[in-house]
Structure 1
Amino acid sequence: MKKLFLFTVLAQLAHAQAPSGYYSSANGLTGAPLKTALSNIITSGHQDKGYGGLWTAYQTTDIDKNYENDGSILDIYSERPTSSDPYNYTPGGNQCGTYSTEGNCYNREHIVPQSFFNEASPMKNDIHFIRATDGKVNGMRSNYPFGKVGSTSFTSQNGSKLGSSSSSGFSGTVFEPIDEFKGDVARMVFYFVTRYQSQLSSFSSGNMLGGSAFPGLQTWELNVLLAWHTQDPVSQAEINRNNASYTFQGNRNPFIDNPNYVNQIWGSQTPTNDTQAPTAVTNLSIPAKTSSSISLTWNASTDNVAVTSYDVHMNGSLKSNVSSTSTIVTGLNPSTTYSFYVKAKDAAGNVSANSSTVSATTNAGTTNPNPTNCVNETFENIPTSSASSYTTKTWTNGGIAWTATDSRSDQTISNKAITVRNSSLKSSSFSNGITSLTVTTQLKFSGSNGTFNVLVNGVNVGIIPYSTTATTTTISNINVSGNVVVSLVNNSSSNRVAIDNLNWTCSAGTAKQSIVSTDYSETKELQVYPNPITNQEIFVKGETENINKAVIYNLQGKEMQTIDQPFRSGKSIKLRNLQQGIYVLKLDETSLKFLIK
């Protein structure tokens, strides 16, 4: 997670953002009196700017300045904190409207559904709990309360989930955001039941709200949100949004300014009132490994309040602590056996029993007959063209024929560089394989940071980031022998990115063979999502209408499933109970790698 400050430091920092004396009338109070004092403070000065005013507000309140920092809409239902977002929205554009899939448009998500208060103002228009989110995910969340999901029925592309509740005290359907934004959601709900506490008795509960000013929430929901508030402290993004909302609307969220108010009003989930340990982790497995890493996945544990993290033990010792249900253990030795088990933890510090133990032996190290680069492309031989002419360019160097579509040749990094726009750079077939690849990239002209996909024989083996600063990146452990075709595919339709000093090391016969060893032509619009796959269903984004055949292979090249005309009735493919692991989906001549958890 990108919450980098200690909770107490954040509390002091956040509190410093409020005007001097803003909360002075709440000093020294606790419990219901403190909640009432805060309600009076944040009601005074609140200016109702109307429902349409939210679109204007989002251009300052909901801008991504803390993750990609690209000026796009910060959508808590699609933001991926540690990797590229599946799609982005432009402030002032992409507004719903109608939608059918994720990525169509964004709309106004009431964290507390507006049906609870009959769409009345000022609640309907209050920027402090109404976020700009993807329309499709907003629709799937519907009016369901927030809680810990047990059995999942829908997963968004950033991992937000809808499904049956595993939170103690409620067994209906709930919605669970990713860990990065659980505290954000909790503090927005706390704001709502404080700002509008005098009206709660006239609102519908929605299995979420309480019917009185204090505590204002149903007990089970309060316990969930208290745990999330502790698990996910205030972030700089929340502070920025609170300040922008204050400028727009004239009032503040006190639980962002001073997170300690939460415990002072409602108490906290502490070891003294939560002594129940989470259930043991199940289905711990190893879906993939290399010579230096082992991937682990497992099913989520359940808890009477909420599971907050997992301790991963290797060879009997604590290796790492993670908040997700998967991890990659790196820095391992080749041809070495390692054993693993996992324990679940909750916010009170209760720890589950050990999961079952799984073991795996890392792959043998790749023997490289040529320790130096066997392919070294400096782009000094690229064809010249007029400064602003984007065309297909071909040239040959070191026995490799290169093709760059929608490209220009007038930009430089070290010296000459090839600049690609809505296109790719692709090699001809090379017989000595590839173990690792290194390349330098730089964003030219206007645009935003992004990534290239690196494909070997049509299979995505990694990503290359780019920004306005020239950056050199290496992808290791590719380890494909035999004939290889290497492609760098621009994921943006408009960013113009220069590529220079591309080189790779060759493999020997001990490296793994390429998957489904044929030549591939990549279609950059095709993408599997979400990845990892859940619920035995693959969704594919892109132009799928004319695809004639889909074939699924395991990593040993065994054909697992074949579907003719796979997208004649939709954008997804139903799987035949495939086990956990990594697979390749071949769509005509395009291959996409995916993981089943």
Structure 2
Amino acid sequence: MKKNYILLFIMSISIGFAQIPTGYYNTATGSGYTLKTQLYNIIKNHNDQGYAALWTLYTDSAFRDNYYENDGSLLDMYSEKPAGPDNYQYTTTSQQCGNYSGEGICYNREHLVPQSYFDNYAVDPMKNDAFHVVPSDGYVNGQRNNLPFGRVSTATYTSTNTSKKGDNLNSGYSAGYSGTVFEPIDEFKGDIARSFFYFATRYENIMSNFYNTTNGSTTQAKAMFDGSNNKVFSDTFLNILITWHLSDPVSTREMAINNRVYQHQGNRNPYIDHPEYVCQIWPTQCAALASNTFAKLEEISVYPNPTNDNKINIESEITLDEIQLINLNGQLIQVVQKPEFTNNTYSLDNLPQGFYLLRLSSENQSVIKKIIVN
């Protein structure tokens, strides 16, 4: 769950937006792919500082843990555990990779859009762009390799903070792809999505090169892209990225990085400054995600209702992210995160007598069901 420092978040919004240069987005007046091209013209031609400069950039406070343990260690999305102490920390530049045989040995520079995508086209400035090249534990980076990001069904590898690798869950918002993917924890899914939207915009003029075929089928390494300069992403991965963007809002950490990278290379990530741009550029996909999920939520069956044995069953064909049981005073009585269904059914037992609201959430959408326990 995104950080719950509400007051700090509100204050940081005003600080973050105050640092957007006056008039920076004045020419971003269109919609759809026209807006994306306008943003491309704003952020292109940034000042490439080179690959080695990233090491120095990572020592800046914007890339340090000032949000969880608040200890100034390097904040790595694959090892950070928001709800508790991390298994290991990187505190000095001597811990740069290096060889590694497991987690916690060294950190390196990970290309969220893998370098293998563009090695044969134009390495600079993409190789050095701090908006998509991030500090990462070397071993976990190696596990991710050049895999697309997605929604893992059964993990074959899990990092210490539960980032994982495995076959993509070919259903719900991630339907349409069953190959191997890498899934970060919920806390950083929006961060990664906005990095991809930035990349698709900053390098719009060459995105048609980010597509390759082998024997007529898309290779796994470039499965996220559709070979166009406008839409850029395949249907499956655009749905994944939009869902992650909507369900994990912009954080204070992202704002700090946006401001620092602007100082470093002279351009900004528009989707951190203006998250609404995503659904203005890809409105059809945003609307379809919202309507499809909501329609399926409406179809969920809750029975027996009323119930006479202090138990209700929830029957759903879609994966639920959360179940909340709320009494008439607005008090949260019970919360179930990522409930595990058996034969599409999940049961809530030992319910006190009363009238309740049952909130069922999936993919940034929710529906309320009224239930009575006699």
Amino acid at match of 2:333: K
Q: After TM superposition, give the deviation of residue 215 of structure 1 in Å.
A: 1.0
**Partners of 1:279 and 1:142 in 2: CA distance:** 39
Aligned mate of 1:266, from 278, 282, 286: 282
**Pair 1:170–1:279, CA change in 2 (3 A):** farther
**In 2 relative to 1, CA 126–302 (structure 1 residues): closer, same or farther, beyond 3 Å?**
farther
Contact persistence 1:87–1:103 (CA under 8 A)? yes
Equivalents in 2 of 1:241, 1:322: separation in Å?
33
Find runs of 4+ consecutive structure 1 residues off by over 6 angstroms: 6-12, 314-317
Q: By how many angstroms is 1:352 displaced?
A: 11
Q: 1:223 aligns with which of 222, 226, 239?
A: 239
Output aligned runs, 1:233-312, within 5 Å: 233-267=249-283, 268=286, 270-274=289-293, 275-277=295-297, 303=318, 309-312=321-324
Distance 1:249 1:207, change over 3 A: same
Which of the two has greater helix per residue?
2
Matching residue within 207, 224, 229 for 1:200: 207
8 Å Cα contact 1:117/1:203 also seen in 2: yes
Residue 210 in structure 1 maps to residue 226 in structure 2: yes
Encode CA deviations 1:117-168: one digit per residue, 9 max, x unaligned: 1171111110001110111111111111111111111111111111111121
1:69: how far off?
Answer: 1.7
How far apart in 2 are the matches of 1:208 and 1:302? Answer: 26
Higher CA-based Rg: 1
1:177, 1:130 → 2: CA distance? Answer: 15
Structure 2 match to 1:25:
27
Closer, same or farther in 2 for the Cα pair 1:190/1:321, shift >3 Å? farther
Tell me, in whole angstroms, the C-alpha distance in 2 between the residues paired with 1:220 and 1:156.
Answer: 25
TM-score, structure 1 length as denominator? 0.49
Deviation (angstroms), 1:325: 5.8
Q: Is the 8 A contact 2:323 2:337 kept in 1?
A: no
Rounded Cα–Cα distance in structure 2 between residues aligned with 1:165 and 1:16: 40
For the 8 Å contact 1:278–1:346, the answer to whether it is kept is no
Structure 2 vs 1, CA of residues 302 and 36 (structure 1 numbering), >3 Å: closer, same or farther? farther
Counterpart residue type for residue 37 of structure 1: Q
Q: Deviations over 1:364-397 (max 9, x none)?
A: xxxxxxxxxxxxxxxxxxxxxxxxxxxxxxxxxx
Structure 2 counterpart of 1:164: 167
Q: What's the offset of the Cα at 1:322?
A: 5.9
Q: CA RMSD in A?
A: 3.2
The residue that corresponds to 1:57 in the other structure is: 57
**Amino-acid identity (%):** 46
Alpha-carbon deviation of 1:249? Answer: 1.1
Answer 1 or 2: higher relative contact order, Cα 8 Å, separation at least 6: 2
**Paired AA for residue 199 in structure 2:** F
- Judge conservation of contact 2:247–2:364 (CA < 8 Å) in 1: no
Q: Which residue matches 2:48?
A: 48
The CA deviation string for residues 55-76 of structure 1, in whole angstroms up to 9 with x for no partner, is 1111114211111221110000
TM-score with structure 2 length normalisation? Answer: 0.76
Q: 1:223 to 1:11 in 2, by over 3 A?
A: farther
Going from structure 1 to structure 2, the CA distance change for 1:5 and 1:279 (only over 3 Å counts) comes to: farther
The alignment status of 1:125 with 2:128, answered yes or no, reads yes
Cα offset, 1:53, TM superposition: 1.4
Contact 1:11 1:257 in 2 (8 A): no
Tell me, yes or no, if structure 1 residue 15 matches structure 2 residue 17. Answer: yes
> In structure 2, what residue type is equivalent to 1:276?
K
SS in structure 2 opposite 1:128?
Answer: coil
CA distance in structure 2 between the partners assigned to 1:11 and 1:215 by the alignment: 29
Where does structure 2 lack aligned partners over 5 or more consecutive residues? 213-221, 301-315, 341-348, 353-357, 370-374
Alpha carbons of structure 1 residues 103 and 325: separation in structure 2 relative to 1, 3 Å: farther
Residue identity opposite 2:253 in structure 1: A
C-alpha separation between the residues in 2 aligned to 1:185 and 1:125?
Answer: 17
Asked whether 1:92 is paired with 2:111, we answer no
Q: Which 5+ residue runs of structure 1 have no aligned equivalent?
A: 281-300, 327-336, 354-597
